[in-house]
């Protein structure tokens, strides 16, 4: 009860000292009252007991899993469900203050005791992040201060926080922008989580879990993408000045189905709906502007950050996450085992305990200060055990935002990832929630938290995590901006324009609500981030990745691919690296697909399977297995889909739709490598074969030149060469792909049902190289209908957005 929601409570005012200035962040008037200690805190504001941030992924989970050790032994252990354990709280509280000890004051470390602002170590990120004070003890390493990435100064924003709602002691109040209606729960996670994140450009949540998202005043100057290592990027205080919480507490959870286990708010479940289709004209990618140029100082996505400490007791993932297959990096042992939450054994680890159980969240041994985005050691990013190295490991790719890395011992337990970043869930792993699709995306923001640092409360020094998704967004944004700028001068915010400028095959739409909000936001903010969110950025990285990884299964770790240093890789895109944060990528199916989420779904009655990969946030890739379709074509068809959902893309087959799916979604997640149950796994194809198949699938002449990129086929090539003049019809449940080339129409019987939660400003873009994709049916969930003031408008809007001809809207 009490701890269940975000609430104020942290310490304020918070003094922040920067080179340039010292300022105090104050919350409310009442907070100002009372005696203040050296830090400007009064007793009330001290962090006596930390509270869940309410914004991280786990905090988004409203229900106990009832399966974890803590849940099972709740009476005795009195601990919150492991899946709900706030990331931020996982960090060890700094020993200062035991409740019974003198609450404070006396315990204030000398350093801070007299704190002149200048004496304070680097300002706590918390300032924005919610960390109210500096580490009181000082005995604990303060990553911020020690971390090179933490600027010693706060870039900005001083007192803006006034008026902000305390967020469980964190500055970040629920982000209004992000706030979703019940109908539109925000993603977790980051994903909003998942992606609860990043709907708003303002929201800038950092990747590290240390600090909770903070709300940023609108007037605050927009934060531009910062160098990865930059304070801002790192979630420096300054940055956060701007940041808003990416995850507002999301109260709503649609629970249509009874289920056991925690429920994760869907990011956009309500939007559900449907599908869209787009077409293929992929944006120019060839050059991944910006991304490639990114230097170490560039933004890094959460994924790019090293794991942060994970708490041994808590899983990084939510039970709902879909489990991935063992990745190449992680041997099976890592994923299998009793740790599987679905497994009864899961409750007990070898020690007889659940993967996550200990009541103590901060146990020694945990790397609370772990390598995080802020890790001083820049190099650290690339070094370290593969399993712990985000850049190398796939493990954790799928973690939802807010989930920190599990310790090794937990990894086993995490075998199954309850969530899928895409929202595509696999029934197998954990009880899935209806409507949730298991997606956590975002979350992006969903994401988060590699770094549970011990920052935050000056006393105990913990800060809440930040949604990682933001980082992703940043990256994306960056890429997008550059890209778009190259492409046209059109206002990037102007989605319609962009659409126009795009090739015909593209489809995009933004929900009316989204537009509204978007417009509002645009007024307030012109930051690139907004642009990112508001428009469907073409994520260049996607193509690159797609072509490279998806098509050819480029293994990031493979020698070939090693050509691209990991750094390079992460520069490219957030997806390029395996995600280290919880939100994403872990469990990725393979080293190959470390960048994506992999999901296999049954797409139509034709028994067509589709492999959907997503960066978990903004892009999705759908690959069809033609073999299961017409039977005539054994080559895999790949559909590139991209959706910019403000990081909250939820793409999944709409289970709710009465589409002609003869078979349910693939019950089990499949490995990227073996998406089709080993029926000619993609990876088993040689590159040439792949290419061949691909061409065949799309009726691409052999003569068609293909370029290789990094050993893979450049998706750009496809994009440019394939994406035109072809049409695809999407009819009920089936997409017809008409290849213009040979007037021979190739009908792809697959039905592609995409359930995309557009959130409030989400946009979906589905691109099928060489084909035009149109929307066949639009189905709204009841929830959406219920919450939509004007469904017709929405429908029209969607229809118009695609400009497709044959549309059939169906209400659900």
Partner DNA sequence: CTCAACGTCACA
Partner DNA sequence: TGTGACGTTGAG
Q: How far apart are CA 438 and CA 432, in angstroms?
A: 6
Q: How far apart are CA 216 and CA 466, in angstroms?
A: 14
**35, 100, 703, 743: residue in contact with DNA (rule CB under 7 A):** 100
Q: Which stretch binds Zn ion (CB under 5 A): 81-89, 124-132, 477-485, 675-683?
A: 81-89
Q: Which residues pair with 17 in a beta bridge?
A: 22
| Tokens standing for residue 748 | 């792809």
Closest approach of DNA to the CB of residue 423, in Å: 24
Of residues 344 and 808, the one with the C-beta less far from DNA: 344
361 lies in the site for DNA, by CB under 7 A: yes
DSSP 611: E
Closest of 529, 468, 516 to residue 222, by C-alpha: 529
**365, 379, 385, 664: residue in contact with DNA (rule CB under 7 A):** 365
**97, 230, 254, 577: residue in contact with DNA (rule CB under 7 A):** 97
* Cα diameter, the chain: 82
- List the single partner that 65 binds among DNA, Zn ion, none, CB under 5 to 8 Å by kind: Zn ion
**7, 287, 342, 677: residue in contact with DNA (rule CB under 7 A):** 7
360 lies in the site for DNA, by CB under 7 A: yes
**364, 632, 705, 789: residue in contact with DNA (rule CB under 7 A):** 364
**10, 41, 53, 537: residue in contact with Zn ion (rule CB under 5 A):** 53
Closest of 600, 642, 596, 628 to residue 615, by C-alpha: 596
Of residues 339 and 598, the one with the C-beta less far from Zn ion: 339
79 lies in the site for DNA, by CB under 7 A: yes
Closest approach of DNA to the CB of residue 406, in Å: 11
| Tokens standing for residue 89 | 């709280």
Q: Cis link prior to 261 (omega < 30° from 0)? A: no
b/e map 736-765, b = 16+ CB within 10 Å: bbbbbbeeebbbbbbbbbbbbbbbbbbbbb
b/e map 312-350, b = 16+ CB within 10 Å: bbbbbbbbbbbbbbbbbbbeeebbbbbbbbbbeebbbbe
| Tokens standing for residue 381 | 């990013």
Q: Which stretch binds DNA (CB under 7 A): 71-79, 119-127, 646-654, 695-703?
A: 71-79
**218, 357, 387, 604: residue in contact with DNA (rule CB under 7 A):** 357
Closest approach of Zn ion to the CB of residue 509, in Å: 33
**52, 324, 584, 638: residue in contact with DNA (rule CB under 7 A):** 52
Q: Are strands 808-810 and 777-779 parallel, antiparallel or unpaired?
A: parallel
71 lies in the site for Zn ion, by CB under 5 A: yes
Closest approach of Zn ion to the CB of residue 262, in Å: 6
Answer whether 249's CB lies under 8 Å from 170's CB.
no
- List the single partner that 53 binds among DNA, Zn ion, none, CB under 5 to 8 Å by kind: Zn ion
Of residues 77 and 224, the one with the C-beta less far from DNA: 77
b/e map 469-497, b = 16+ CB within 10 Å: bbbbbbbbbbbbbbbbeebeebebbebbe
How many CB atoms lie under 10 A from the CB of residue 637?
Answer: 27
Report the chain's terminal Cα–Cα distance, integer Å. Answer: 36
Closest approach of DNA to the CB of residue 196, in Å: 19
Q: Which residues pair with 712 in a beta bridge?
A: 709
Q: Which stretch binds DNA (CB under 7 A): 79-87, 178-186, 570-578, 770-778?
A: 79-87
Closest approach of Zn ion to the CB of residue 711, in Å: 41
73 lies in the site for DNA, by CB under 7 A: yes
Q: In sequence order, what DSSP letters do the residues of 92-144 get, joined into one string?
A: PPPTT--TTS--SGGGS-HHHHT--GGGS-SPPTHHHHS--B--SS--S--HH
b/e map 688-697, b = 16+ CB within 10 Å: eebbebbbbb
**352, 559, 705, 742: residue in contact with DNA (rule CB under 7 A):** 352
Q: How many residues does the structure list for the chain?
A: 812
466 lies in the site for Zn ion, by CB under 5 A: no
* Residue 566, SS3 per DSSP: helix
95 lies in the site for DNA, by CB under 7 A: yes
85 lies in the site for Zn ion, by CB under 5 A: no
Size of the site for Zn ion (CB under 5 A): 11
Chain center to CA of 173: 20
**15, 52, 502, 538: residue in contact with Zn ion (rule CB under 5 A):** 52
Size of the site for DNA (CB under 7 A): 53
Closest approach of Zn ion to the CB of residue 430, in Å: 11
Closest approach of Zn ion to the CB of residue 8, in Å: 14
* Residue 167, SS3 per DSSP: strand
Of residues 259 and 663, the one with the C-beta less far from DNA: 259
- Spell out, one character per residue from 433 to 462, where the chain touches DNA: x when CB under 7 A holds, - when not: ------------------------x--x-x
User: From residue 342, how far is each of 72, 139, 351, 513, 655 by CA, in Å?
Assistant: 14, 40, 18, 38, 21
363 lies in the site for DNA, by CB under 7 A: yes
Of residues 86 and 370, the one with the C-beta less far from DNA: 86
316 lies in the site for DNA, by CB under 7 A: no
Answer whether 575's CB lies under 8 Å from 542's CB.
yes
67 lies in the site for DNA, by CB under 7 A: no
- Spell out, one character per residue from 169 to 198, where the chain touches DNA: x when CB under 7 A holds, - when not: ------------------------------
**24, 41, 68, 536: residue in contact with Zn ion (rule CB under 5 A):** 68
Q: How far apart are CA 464 and CA 171, in angstroms?
A: 10
Backbone angles phi, psi at 33, to 5 degrees: -70, 165
| Tokens standing for residue 625 | 């297995």
387 lies in the site for DNA, by CB under 7 A: no
Q: Which stretch binds DNA (CB under 7 A): 78-86, 153-161, 224-232, 261-269?
A: 78-86
Of residues 52 and 144, the one with the C-beta less far from Zn ion: 52
47 lies in the site for DNA, by CB under 7 A: yes
Closest approach of DNA to the CB of residue 463, in Å: 11
Using CB under 7 A, list all residues that contact DNA. Answer: 1-5, 7, 9, 47-52, 64, 69, 73, 76-81, 84-86, 89, 93, 95-100, 312-313, 349, 351-353, 357-366, 409, 457, 460, 462
Using CB under 5 A, list all residues that contact Zn ion. Answer: 52-53, 56, 59, 64-65, 68, 71, 81, 86, 88
């Amino acid at each position: 009860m009490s701890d269940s929601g975000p609430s104020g409570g942290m310490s304020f005012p918070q003094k922040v000292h920067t080179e340039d200035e010292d300022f105090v962040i104050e919350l409310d008037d009442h907070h100002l009252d009372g005696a203040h200690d050296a830090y400007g805190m009064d007793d009330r504001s001290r962090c006596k007991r930390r509270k869940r941030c309410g914004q991280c992924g786990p905090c988004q989970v409203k229900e106990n899993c009832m399966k974890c050790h803590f849940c099972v032994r709740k009476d005795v252990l009195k601990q919150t469900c492991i899946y709900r354990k706030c990331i931020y709280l996982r960090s060890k509280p700094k020993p200062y203050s035991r409740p019974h000890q003198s609450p404070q004051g006396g315990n204030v470390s000398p350093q801070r005791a007299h704190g002149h602002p200048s004496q304070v170590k680097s300002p706590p990120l918390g300032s924005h992040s919610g960390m109210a004070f500096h580490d009181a003890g000082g005995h604990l390493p303060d990553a911020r201060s020690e971390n090179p990435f933490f600027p010693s100064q706060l870039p900005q924003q001083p007192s803006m926080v006034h008026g902000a709602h305390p967020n469980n002691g964190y500055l970040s109040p629920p982000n209004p922008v992000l706030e979703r209606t019940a109908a539109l729960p925000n993603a977790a996670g980051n994903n909003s989580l998942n992606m609860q994140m990043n709907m708003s450009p303002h929201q800038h949540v950092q990747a590290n879990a240390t600090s909770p998202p903070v709300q940023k005043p609108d007037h605050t100057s927009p934060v531009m993408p910062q160098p990865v290592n930059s304070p801002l990027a790192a979630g420096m205080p300054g940055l956060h000045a701007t940041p808003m919480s990416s995850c507002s507490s999301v109260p709503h959870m649609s629970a249509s189905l009874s289920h056991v286990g925690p429920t994760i708010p869907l990011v956009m479940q309500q939007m559900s709906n449907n599908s869209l289709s787009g077409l293929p004209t992929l944006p120019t990618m060839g050059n991944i502007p910006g991304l490639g140029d990114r230097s170490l100082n560039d933004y890094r996505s959460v994924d790019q950050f090293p794991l942060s400490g994970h708490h041994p007791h808590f899983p990084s993932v939510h039970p709902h996450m879909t489990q991935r297959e063992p990745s190449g990096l992680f041997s099976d042992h890592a994923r299998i085992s009793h740790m599987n939450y679905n497994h009864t054994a899961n409750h007990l680890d070898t020690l007889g305990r659940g993967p996550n159980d200990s009541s103590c969240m901060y146990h020694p041994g945990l790397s609370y200060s772990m390598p995080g985005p802020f890790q001083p050691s820049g190099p650290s990013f690339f070094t370290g055990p593969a399993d712990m190295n985000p850049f190398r490991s796939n493990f954790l790719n799928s973690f939802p935002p807010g989930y920190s890395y599990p310790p090794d011992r937990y990894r086993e337990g995490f075998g199954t990832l309850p969530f899928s970043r895409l929202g595509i869930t696999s029934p197998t792993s954990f009880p899935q929630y209806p409507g949730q699709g298991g997606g956590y995306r975002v979350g992006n923001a969903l994401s988060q938290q590699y770094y549970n640092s011990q920052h935050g409360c000056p006393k105990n020094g913990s800060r809440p995590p930040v949604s990682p998704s933001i980082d992703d967004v940043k990256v994306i944004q960056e890429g997008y901006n550059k890209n778009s700028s190259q492409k046209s001068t059109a206002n990037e915010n102007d989605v319609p324009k962009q659409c126009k400028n795009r090739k015909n095959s593209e489809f995009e739409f933004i929900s009316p609500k989204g537009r509204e909000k978007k417009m509002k936001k645009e007024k307030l903010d012109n930051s690139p981030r907004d642009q990112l969110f508001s428009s469907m950025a073409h994520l260049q990285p996607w193509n690159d990745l797609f072509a490279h990884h998806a098509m050819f299964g480029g293994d990031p770790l493979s020698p070939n691919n090693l050509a691209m240093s990991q750094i390079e890789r992460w520069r490219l895109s957030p997806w390029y690296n395996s995600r280290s944060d919880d939100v994403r990528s872990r469990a990725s199916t393979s080293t190959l697909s470390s960048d994506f989420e992999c999901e296999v779904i049954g797409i139509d009655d034709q028994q067509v399977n589709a492999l959907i990969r997503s960066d978990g946030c903004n892009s999705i890739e759908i690959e069809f297995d033609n073999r299961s379709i017409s039977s005539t074509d054994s080559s895999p068809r790949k559909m590139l889909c991209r959706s910019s959902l403000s990081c909250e893309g939820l793409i999944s087959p709409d289970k709710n739709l009465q589409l002609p799916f003869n078979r349910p979604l693939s019950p089990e997640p499949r490995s990227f490598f073996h998406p089709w149950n080993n029926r000619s796994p993609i990876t088993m194809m040689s590159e040439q074969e792949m290419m061949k198949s691909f061409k065949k699938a799309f009726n691409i002449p052999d003569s068609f030149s293909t370029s290789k990129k990094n050993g893979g086929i450049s998706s750009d090539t496809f994009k440019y060469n394939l994406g035109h003049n072809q049409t695809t019809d999407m009819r009920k449940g089936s997409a017809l792909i008409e290849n213009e080339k040979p007037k021979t129409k190739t009908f792809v019987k697959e039905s592609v049902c995409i359930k995309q939660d557009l959130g409030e400003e989400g946009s979906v873009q589905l691109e099928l190289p060489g084909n035009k994709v149109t929307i066949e049916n639009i189905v709204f969930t009841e929830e959406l209908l219920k919450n939509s003031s004007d469904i017709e408008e929405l429908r029209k809007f969607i229809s118009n957005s695609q400009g497709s001809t044959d549309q059939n809207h169906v209400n659900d």
